[in-house]
């Protein structure tokens, strides 16, 4: 069924492309061309404004208000991450850049973080956002050992630097439908989907969506009074306890204090 | 039955007797109420409320008896009257913890515009609101935050290979909406001018460019990969704005002509901005954008601010006679004649009351002094 | 729909556990549908409370205390200057902790349809997580026994990526308009705006289906089913000498011993309680004198063998790439020897058998074949029959994918 549909759509695309070749002009589209294919429209989509999906979780199953969900963000070698720290005495107002950004994030709040030291684009900073939309349920003593692992790769940053937007939905994999492959930074590649699919719906098929990362090339506004809007009102976050942080620092190949 | 009536009449007489005993006081209704025609008449009726708030049953009752009835606001009624939203508030208006003290600073929602092509071109805008192009020049590629929902005049100078050419395009920026909020929170709106654009303008043509975000849901896969649309001309008669709105959500509209707005006599007073810059340094809009509503919308949800009107929800109580809900084309003349919403919720509630009778009794009641109906004037002169 | 019913059932079972006050380890996924549906009201109460932070469920009397949520709420909005890190630790202090089965890797048990051996080599109904032992008693009766379940906390996160961007749409070119209209100079000439003046023909309106875009996926399990021995990683040897069921399952002569000690205690205590002597009265005393009258010994010509299979892991949590050592111990707790003992461990997708890591004290035929979960089905066949009281321990390592 789906194969037939794709075949049809490809035929249609080819015909339209042919029409372009001959006419060189684009005629107006029929309004019916742009009606949704399916009969339904999900209420929550990854393309919703940041915060909407997470806020919907707050009123959903079980109270998660006030829970700081541990999250760890890693990237390619050399890339550093830091978080805005309102009231930080340092001039940049950011935390110390680290190779592995670890913090507890409130569900439903949107956190903008800073990416620096991008390979091949030295001096360039990116400001993606992360939105935690669900929590995990680890045993008490393992809370900070098993944060939500968000691994960004170089293509994310290069795509954003080209002016496009990357939406990543991180999901907790269902072990019964898991991919039979050892997960390491090399094999942990995202599932690429087309522009016409909803990443939230796709992630929901393979597991439980827990976070949305959106990467674009927006830069901080030059007016300081616009900074609260840019940083989504500086929502609170919780640093990891020190013991676990040092344990994780051991796993970094390069200590973050260097450079 | 008769007995009761007689009792009641007895009570009435005793009441009269009792009032007859106390000194007579005169009570007048409050000044505000004196201004109105009568209880329930002066208040707003359904469908004619100002703003976007819907009249609720509580409103009607409050209008009927402004002070006499203490009414539990919005306990029984779903709509939150103050926010101008109707029902279903949990979707767009979640009760978020207001954890950001910085959010209290009122900053207008902005979006970032990046002027990309051609490199080296200088862009100036109105930074003070006095109608000039008095900002520091931005040298492309450059970025600047603009308040959403405004029409901005910018001045292009130093265009490569076109010495002495100064152009004054307008950039109309739309308000963020639920479709574009995520994009605008992470990306800038690219404003680019090609050589062909300049050629067209300098030969006396008028160029309209629309930057839009293709809607993944409404743009069918049949159009996937055809990005030649970007540089192709539309058929004559096809409005690019309409076309872009069908294909997605409009981010910005650029109109480029060869009018020199700084020339003396070129309608200088129309050049003056209608608004001043909301924050010093931000570009001042020349006119508001013509997008409908959503001026209060946030692209994100920093502190639980209401973000957008509901899809499929009307903005007034009686949709008959007004343009349809937001997914219908906006801006139409009033044409909607039928509006059907089916509710499939299993509801077990008492039947709605078909008639409401509101008995108002103010205590103490009103009493005027009896008007004079007879005047006697006695004049007496003691010393003739 | 299915997942949500499982969730409610599991919460039901939590409710049963607490209301009855029993602490038995009765839960595996297989058991859940059998749990009787008890009255709905208290269950709902617990369901609500178990998520909440400020609620304690006291198992002693089965009553539920609703503590003020505000006062116990550890979040900073409520309490102000509470350390955020502390909040991270303490936000989760509900009495009944909720788990998500998707975050656990489980191995062992016999979930789904019960495993049946249909030939020498094949079993039917063996799910990816199952671990069973198949044997024949002396009478030739085939038996299948499932092991306990081992749960490892090993969540794995993946992501979906979508790349999108804006388009500079169609561009219209037309003759430049007249700048100044003839007539009144100051006519306000509004530029055309975003407002659409074109009518769209709506084939059908898009319908929001409702809040099922994020399906419920919380198949929660109560704490009993994921509890296991909280041990460090190098005490495998000690672990394997322990029988899981020893803690609550008394065997053979142990019962008699406990009985004897219990009786002795009663006798001793009755003598001790004599504290007050009243004159001119004979103190009442009770002497419990029990002697053994005799034994009856039943001789079975052919004893009935029974195997007990238990499974352990040397850690309770694992990251991808970690190696976990599993131990399977089978013990003949019956009265006769068993033969044709086949132990089968059907590994789940995310467990990868480490080649050559098998350690076994008995002589076994070992086979590893691919299974439907794209992992291996491990299979040990004991060459020798297993006598009464004898046990065999198998150790192997798996890498968490």
- Give tens-digit pLDDT for C41-64: 333 333 333 333 333 333 333 333
Cα(B319)–Cα(B308) distance, rounded to whole angstroms? 19
Residues 176-215 of chain B whose Cβ lies under 8 A from any Cβ of chain C = 183, 187, 189-190, 192, 197, 200-201, 204-214
- When mean pLDDT is compared across A58-62, B326-330, C105-109, the lowest value belongs to B326-330
Q: Enumerate the residues of chain B whose CB falls inside 8 A of the CB of residue C165.
A: 187
Confidence of residue B383 (pLDDT cuts 50, 70, 90): low
Q: Measured between alpha carbons, how far is residue B170 from residues B134, B202, B252, C277 in Å? A: 16, 16, 10, 111
More confident residue, C306 or C243: C306
Name the token pair of A8.
Answer: 């049809």
> How close A176 comes to chain B (CA, Å)?
30
Quick check: C97 and A143 in contact, CB under 8 A? Answer: no
Q: Is the same domain home to B10 and B121?
A: no
More confident residue, B129 or A33: B129
Write down which residue in B270, B288, B306 finishes a domain: B288
Name the token pair of A177.
Answer: 């439908």
Cα(C371)–Cα(C368) distance, rounded to whole angstroms? 9
Quick check: B116 and B192 in contact, CB under 8 A? Answer: yes
A21, containing H or E segment: helix A2-23
Write the pLDDT tens digit of every residue in C135-151.
888 777 888 888 888 88
Q: Is the same domain home to B120 and B143?
A: yes
Write down which residue in B288, B303, B336 finishes a domain: B288
Cβ contact A138–C153 (<8 Å)? yes
Which residue from A140, A160, A159, A136 is spatially nearest to A72, judged by alpha carbons?
A136
Task: Identify the sign of the CA torsion C49, C53, C56, C57.
Answer: positive
Asked whether residue B34 carries a pLDDT value surpassing 60, the answer given is no
Name the token pair of C336.
Answer: 């006769």
Domains of chain C: 2-96 (no CATH), 103-155+223-248+303-400 (2.60.40)
Closest C-chain CA to A188:
C158
Write the pLDDT tens digit of every residue in B273-295.
455 656 667 788 777 776 544 44
Q: Does A176 touch chain C (CB under 8 A)?
A: yes
- When mean pLDDT is compared across B130-139, B222-231, C110-119, C322-331, the lowest value belongs to B222-231
Q: Is the same domain home to B119 and B257?
A: yes
Q: Enumerate the residues of chain A whose CB falls inside 8 A of the CB of residue C77.
A: 66
Quick check: B307 and A52 in contact, CB under 8 A? Answer: yes
- Residue with the two structure tokens 């480029």: B256
Instruction: Say if B262 falls within a structural domain.
Output: yes
Q: How many domains does chain B have?
A: 2
Of the candidates A24, A26, A232, the beta carbon closest to that of B302 is on A232
Segments forming the whole domain that contains residue B4:
1-94+350-384
Of the candidates B185, B247, B282, the beta carbon closest to that of A29 is on B247
Q: Is the same domain home to B202 and B156?
A: yes
More confident residue, B187 or C36: B187
The pLDDT of B349-358, averaged and rounded, is: 79
- Residue with the two structure tokens 């003349």: B333
Q: Is the same domain home to B247 and B170?
A: yes
Q: Does B332 touch chain C (CB under 8 A)?
A: yes
Write the pLDDT tens digit of every residue in C61-100.
333 332 223 223 333 333 333 333 333 333 444 446 677 7
Instruction: Say if B128 falls within a structural domain.
Output: yes
Task: Identify the sign of the CA torsion A127, A128, A131, A136.
Answer: negative
Write the pLDDT tens digit of every residue in C268-318.
444 444 444 444 545 455 555 556 666 676 665 566 778 888 888 888 888
Name the token pair of C236.
Answer: 């495998």
Instruction: Give strand pairing partners of C221.
Output: C99
Closest A-chain CA to C163:
A166
- Residue with the two structure tokens 């009985």: C259
> How close C197 comes to chain B (CA, Å)?
6
Cβ contact C159–A170 (<8 Å)? yes
pLDDT attached to residue C228: 44
Instruction: Say if B308 falls within a structural domain.
Output: no
Torsion region of C20: left, alpha or beta (phi above 0 gives left; psi -120 to 50 gives alpha)? alpha
pLDDT attached to residue A52: 86
Cβ contact B218–A34 (<8 Å)? yes
* pTM as predicted: 0.59
Domain boundaries, chain A: 43-251
Instruction: Say if B158 falls within a structural domain.
Output: yes
pLDDT attached to residue C299: 63
Confidence of residue C173 (pLDDT cuts 50, 70, 90): low
Cα(A190)–Cα(A211) distance, rounded to whole angstroms? 14
Q: Enumerate the residues of chain A whose CB falls inside 8 A of the CB of residue C203.
A: 32, 35
Confidence of residue C24 (pLDDT cuts 50, 70, 90): very low
Q: Is the same domain home to B280 and B139?
A: yes
> How close A143 comes to chain C (CA, Å)?
8
Cα(A151)–Cα(A174) distance, rounded to whole angstroms? 18
> How close C85 comes to chain B (CA, Å)?
17
Q: Is A33 helix (H, G, I), strand (E, B) or coil?
A: helix
Q: Is the same domain home to B66 and B143?
A: no
Q: Measured between alpha carbons, how far is residue C144 from residues B245, C93, C371 in Å? A: 66, 40, 20
Instruction: Tell me which of B290, B310, B326, B333 to substitute to probe the interface with C (most C C-beta atoms closer than 10 Å).
Output: B290
Write down which residue in B268, B288, B308 finishes a domain: B288
Of the candidates A27, A34, A56, the beta carbon closest to that of B246 is on A34
Residues 276-305 of chain B whose Cβ lies under 8 A from any Cβ of chain C = 287, 289-292
Q: CA neighbours within 13 Å on the CB side: how many for B282?
A: 24
How many other C-beta atoms lie within 10 A of the C-beta of residue C34?
9
Asked whether residue C327 carries a pLDDT value surpassing 90, the answer given is no
Asked whether residue A188 carries a pLDDT value surpassing 90, the answer given is no
Q: Is the same domain home to B84 and B124?
A: no
Name the token pair of A244.
Answer: 């676990």
Instruction: Say if B297 falls within a structural domain.
Output: no
pLDDT attached to residue C51: 32
Asked whether residue B99 carries a pLDDT value surpassing 50, the answer given is no
ipTM of the complex as predicted: 0.77
Instruction: Say if B320 falls within a structural domain.
Output: no
Of the candidates B92, B94, B187, the beta carbon closest to that of A165 is on B187
Closest C-chain CA to B218:
C206
Asked whether residue B33 carries a pLDDT value surpassing 90, the answer given is no
pLDDT attached to residue A79: 92
Residues 26-45 of chain A whose Cβ lies under 8 A from any Cβ of chain B = 26-29, 31, 33-37, 41, 43
Which residue from C357, C367, C356 is spatially nearest to C396, judged by alpha carbons?
C357
More confident residue, B363 or C225: B363
Cβ contact B257–C177 (<8 Å)? yes
Q: Enumerate the residues of chain B whose CB falls inside 8 A of the CB of residue A127.
A: 186
pLDDT attached to residue A152: 93
């Amino acid at each position: 069924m789906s194969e037939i549909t794709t075949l049809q759509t490809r035929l249609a695309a080819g015909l339209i492309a042919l029409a372009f070749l001959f006419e060189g002009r684009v005629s107006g589209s029929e309004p019916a061309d742009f009606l949704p294919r399916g009969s339904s429209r999900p209420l929550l989509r990854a393309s919703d404004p940041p915060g909407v999906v997470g806020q919907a979780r707050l009123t959903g199953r079980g109270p998660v208000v006030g829970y700081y969900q541990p999250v760890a963000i890693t990237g390619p070698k050399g890339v550093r991450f830091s978080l805005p720290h309102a009231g930080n005495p340092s001039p940049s107002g950011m935390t110390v850049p680290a190779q592995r950004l670890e913090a507890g994030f409130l569900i439903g709040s949107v956190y903008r973080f800073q990416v620096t030291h991008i390979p091949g684009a030295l001096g360039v900073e990116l400001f993606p956002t992360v939105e935690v939309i669900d929590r995990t349920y680890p045993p008490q003593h393992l809370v900070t050992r098993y944060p939500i692992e968000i691994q960004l790769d170089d293509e994310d940053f290069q795509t954003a630097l080209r002016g496009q937007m990357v939406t990543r939905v991180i999901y907790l994999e269902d072990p019964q439908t898991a991919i039979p492959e050892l997960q390491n930074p090399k094999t942990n590649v995202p599932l690429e989907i087309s522009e016409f699919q909803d990443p939230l719906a796709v992630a929901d098929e393979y597991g439980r969506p827990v976070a949305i990362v959106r990467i674009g090339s927006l830069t901080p506004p030059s007016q300081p009074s616009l900074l609260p809007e840019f940083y989504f009102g500086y929502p609170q976050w919780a640093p990891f306890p020190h013991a676990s942080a040092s344990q994780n620092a051991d796993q970094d190949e390069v200590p973050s204090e260097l450079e | 039955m008769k007995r009761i009536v007689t009792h009641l009449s007895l009570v009435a007489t005793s009441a009269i007797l009792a009032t007859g005993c106390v000194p007579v006081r005169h009570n007048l209704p409050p000044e505000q109420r004196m201004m109105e025609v009568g209880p329930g008449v002066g208040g707003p009726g359904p469908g004619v409320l100002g703003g976007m708030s819907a009249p609720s049953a509580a409103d009607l009752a409050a209008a009927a008896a402004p002070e006499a009835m203490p009414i539990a606001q919005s306990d029984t009624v779903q709509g939150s009257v103050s926010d101008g939203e109707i029902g279903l508030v949990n979707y767009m208006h979640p009760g978020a913890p207001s954890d950001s003290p910085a959010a209290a600073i009122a900053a207008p929602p902005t979006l970032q515009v990046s002027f990309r092509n051609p490199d080296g071109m200088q862009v100036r805008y109105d930074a003070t609101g006095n109608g000039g192009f008095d900002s520091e020049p931005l040298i492309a590629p450059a970025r600047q935050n603009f308040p959403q929902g405004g029409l901005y005049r910018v001045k292009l100078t130093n265009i490569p290979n076109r010495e002495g050419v100064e152009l004054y395009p307008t950039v109309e920026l739309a308000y963020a909406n639920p479709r574009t909020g995520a994009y605008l929170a992470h990306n800038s709106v690219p404003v680019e001018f090609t050589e062909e654009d300049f050629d067209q303008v300098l030969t006396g043509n008028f160029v309209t460019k629309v930057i839009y975000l293709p809607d993944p849901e409404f743009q069918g896969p049949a159009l996937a990969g055809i990005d030649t649309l970007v540089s192709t001309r539309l058929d004559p008669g096809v409005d690019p704005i309409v076309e872009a709105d069908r294909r997605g959500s409009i981010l910005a509209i650029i109109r480029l002509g060869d009018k020199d707005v700084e020339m003396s006599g070129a309608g200088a007073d129309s050049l003056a901005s209608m608004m001043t810059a909301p924050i010093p340094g931000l570009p001042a809009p020349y006119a508001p954008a013509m997008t409908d509503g959503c001026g209060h919308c946030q692209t994100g949800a920093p502190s639980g601010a209401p973000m957008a009107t509901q899809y499929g929800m009307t903005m007034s109580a009686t949709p008959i006679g007004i343009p349809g809900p937001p997914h219908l084309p906006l801006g139409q003349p009033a044409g909607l004649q039928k509006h059907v919403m089916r509710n499939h919720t299993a509801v077990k509630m008492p039947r709605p009351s078909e008639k409401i009778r509101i008995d108002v009794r103010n205590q103490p009641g009103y009493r005027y002094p009896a008007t004079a109906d007879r005047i006697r004037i006695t004049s007496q002169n003691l010393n003739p | 729909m299915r997942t949500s019913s499982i969730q409610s059932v599991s919460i039901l079972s939590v409710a049963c556990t607490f209301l009855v006050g029993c602490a038995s380890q009765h839960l595996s996924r297989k058991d859940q549908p059998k749990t009787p549906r008890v009255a709905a009201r208290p269950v709902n109460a617990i369901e609500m409370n178990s998520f909440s932070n400020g609620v304690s469920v006291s198992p002693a009397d089965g009553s539920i205390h609703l503590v003020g949520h505000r006062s116990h709420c550890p979040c900073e909005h409520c309490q102000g200057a509470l350390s955020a890190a502390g909040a991270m630790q303490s936000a989760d202090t509900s009495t009944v902790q909720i788990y998500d089965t998707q975050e656990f890797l489980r191995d062992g048990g016999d979930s789904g349809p019960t495993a049946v051996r249909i030939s020498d080599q094949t079993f039917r109904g063996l799910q990816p997580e199952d671990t069973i032992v198949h044997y024949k008693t002396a009478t030739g009766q085939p038996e299948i026994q499932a092991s306990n379940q081992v749960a490892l906390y090993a969540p794995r996160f993946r992501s979906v990526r979508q790349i999108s961007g804006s388009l500079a749409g169609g561009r219209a070119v037309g003759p430049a308009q007249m700048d100044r209209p003839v007539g009144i100079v100051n006519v306000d000439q509004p530029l055309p705006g975003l407002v659409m003046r074109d009518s769209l023909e709506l084939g059908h309106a898009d319908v929001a289906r409702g809040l099922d875009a994020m399906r419920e996926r919380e198949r929660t399990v109560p704490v009993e089913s994921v509890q296991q021995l909280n041990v460090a990683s190098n005490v495998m040897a000690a672990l394997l000498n322990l029988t899981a069921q020893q803690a609550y399952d008394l065997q053979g002569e142990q019962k008699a011993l406990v009985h004897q000690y219990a009786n002795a205690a009663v006798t001793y205590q009755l003598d001790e309680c004599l504290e007050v002597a009243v004159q001119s009265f004979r103190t009442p005393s009770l002497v419990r004198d029990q002697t053994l009258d005799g034994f009856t010994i039943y001789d079975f010509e052919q004893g009935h063998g029974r195997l007990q299979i238990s499974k352990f892991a040397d850690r309770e949590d694992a990251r991808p790439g970690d190696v976990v050592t599993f131990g399977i111990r089978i013990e003949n707790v019956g009265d006769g020897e068993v033969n044709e003992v086949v132990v089968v461990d059907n590994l789940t997708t995310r467990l990868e058998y480490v080649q050559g890591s098998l350690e076994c004290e008995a002589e076994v035929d070992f086979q590893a074949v691919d299974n439907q979960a794209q992992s291996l089905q491990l299979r040990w066949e004991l060459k020798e029959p297993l006598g009464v009281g004898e046990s065999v321990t198998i150790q192997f390592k798996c890498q968490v994918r």
